[in-house]
Amino acid sequence: MAPPLLRIGTRGSKLALVQTGLVRDALAAAVPELGAPGAIEIVVIKTTGDAIQDRPLSEAGGKGLFVKEIEEALLGNRIDAAVHSMKDMPTAQPAGLAISAFLPREDVRDVLIAGDVTRIADLKKGAVIGSAALRRKAQLLHLRPDLQVVNFRGNVDTRLAKQASGIVDATLLAMAGLKRLGLKVGAPISEEEMLPAVGQGAVCIECRSDDAPTRGWLAKIDHAPTATCVAAEHAMLAVLDGSCRTPIAGHATLGADGSLHLRGLILKPDGSQAIATERKGAARDAAALGKDAGLELKQRGGPGFLE
C-alpha cells in the first residue's frame, strides 16, 4: 500500500477525533488527491494535558499542555499537520511552525449543565460548580460570590456523568464541543453573562512553515472570517498573557459591512474585580484592534492585576 499523502496529528479524545474528522473530510472534498482511500492518515498523540487529571492545568504550566507533544511530532516530521482547538493554543507558535487554516467557527457560548436549572441566577445558594477553567470560575464568582467552584477535569462524557451523579450541582461546557459531539444538553449562557475564552469554538490546523504542499492544501479549506476574528482575540491575549493564572476572556465578531467588534475581559481569580473593554473597526485592522484592547486592559488593571 502506498504511504499516505498527509499525516494529521491529534489528541485522542472523542471530541478531538471528531474535529480531526471534520478537517479530513474538508480536505478530501477540496483536494481531489486527498479524497482517495488511504491518502490521509490520522495519528493519535497523547499530550501532557491529557495525562494530568489530578489538578488544574494552570498549576502545571497552563496553555500549551494540549499541543506540546503534537508540535514536537510536527517538528520531528512524524506528522505533516496538526488539528487543535484554538482555545488550547499559546499566543505564539514554535519556530518553524504556523497555523495555516481554520474551520468555520462553531457556537462560542458556554452551556450550563445543572439539571432543570437553566440560569446561573437560579442556582441554589452555595451551589457547588465543577470547572477547571479559571475564566469560568472567575466569571461565576463575579456573578455569584456565594457559589463554590471546585476543580473538575475529564472529557465531556466524564464531566456530564459526574454532574449527573451529584458530585457537583452544575458544570459548564463549551457549546461548540457539545454540538460537534451531537449532544443536546444544558442551557446556553449569553455572552453578556459569560464571555467565552479566546479562540473558543474555533478549530485550527498547524503545519511546518516550509511545507509548501501541505500549506497549499490547507489554504483551500481556510475559513478567512474565523481567522480574522481569532487574530484580533489572540493579539489581545498576547499583550495580556503574562500569567497562565489570569482569567482572560475575549470574542470578536464580523459585521456584514466588513467591520469587526471585539470584546475583552480580565478578572481577578476570585471574581472580586472585572475590567472589560471593546473595540470596533475595520476587519483588516483585526490584530491592531486586539493589541490596543489588550494594552488598555493591562493599563487599567495596573501592576499586579495580571500576576
Grid coordinates representing 293 are 484592547
Rounded CA separation 50/106 (Å): 23
**Is 25 annotated in the active site?**
no
Rounded CA separation 30/286 (Å): 27
Catalytic residue among 88, 110, 211, 292: 88
Nearest to 180 by CA among 202, 150, 160, 164: 202
Nearest to 290 by CA among 262, 255, 248: 262
Find where cell 456530564 sits.
160
Name every residue whose Cβ is closer than 8 Å to that of residue 284 and which is 6 or more positions away in sequence: none
Grid coordinates representing 74 are 510536527
Residues catalogued as catalytic: 88
